[in-house]
């Protein structure tokens, strides 16, 4: 990532931490939107290990996609490890690796 090497000249890890958080929230929102129907949301939440009652509560919520993306239930189930399992690279970790070299 050529543009990231430019930022290694300055001490800005918080920028990459904030970007990482925003990207993960955006991906949570996209997944939630992709699941569309409440029954699909409930089914997927249960498959991710959410208790049945909480899955029904959040799966049938009428809150907006962006707001749900920051909900505790999605935050715990679609966490950093979930996205790492799909090979999502952390900008902050990449920044730190470039800073050390």
Residue 15 has a pLDDT of 84
Residue 4 has a pLDDT of 65
**Gap between the Cα atoms of 23 and 9, Å rounded:** 23
Residue 99 has a pLDDT of 79
Residue 34 has a pLDDT of 98
Q: 48 vs 24, 41, 44, 52, 73, CA distance in Å?
A: 17, 11, 6, 11, 10
Confidence of residue 37 (pLDDT cuts 50, 70, 90): very high
Confidence of residue 35 (pLDDT cuts 50, 70, 90): very high
Tokens 């208790």 -> residue: 51
Tokens 């900008």 -> residue: 91
- pTM for the structure as a whole: 0.85
């Amino acid at each position: 990532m050529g543009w990231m090497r430019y930022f290694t000249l300055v001490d800005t890890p918080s920028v990459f931490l904030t970007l990482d958080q925003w990207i993960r929230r955006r991906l949570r929102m996209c997944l939630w939107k992709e699941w569309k129907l409440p029954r699909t949301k409930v089914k997927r939440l249960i498959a991710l290990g959410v208790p049945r009652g909480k899955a029904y509560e959040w799966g049938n919520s009428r809150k907006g996609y962006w707001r749900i993306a920051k909900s505790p239930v999605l935050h715990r189930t679609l966490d950093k490890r979930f996205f790492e399992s799909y090979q999502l690279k952390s900008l902050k970790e990449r920044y730190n690796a470039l800073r050390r070299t």
